[in-house]
Structure 1
Amino acid sequence: MGKTATTKTKEPKELSEQQSLWQDFRKRRTEELKKADPDQDGRERQRQIADEWKKSPDNPKHE
């Protein structure tokens, strides 16, 4: 018998809540950044938002 990897699976509701938090954060920050700098490249804006999310207290994975 081969070894199988064990991974911690998340409950669908928990995963859905985390995705919803990210989506709300991304939408809010996109609107704010567009107003502050309408000429900013969309890809750069999304990178900036992702970096902010990693440090945000709204992120459940933030320590």
Structure 2
Amino acid sequence: MSLLSPQSATANGKTHTISYVWSLPQVAKKMMFTLTTAYSENVQIQVMASTANISD
């Protein structure tokens, strides 16, 4: 599953976020990977990535 989320203006300018959830059949735990990038090259934070363990 992937989630796309173009964000409106923030303190860092306009951003784009994409998230993926990876899982195995019959396993309650899942891994979520999220990547947020800035549209502008002249910002304090160009990219931010995170991971999380989630369960049903």
**TM-based fold match above 0.5:** no
Which structure shows the higher helix fraction? 1
* Higher Rg of the two aligned structures: 1
TM-score, structure 2 as length reference? 0.29
Q: Please report the TM-score for the alignment, with normalisation by the length of structure 1.
A: 0.27
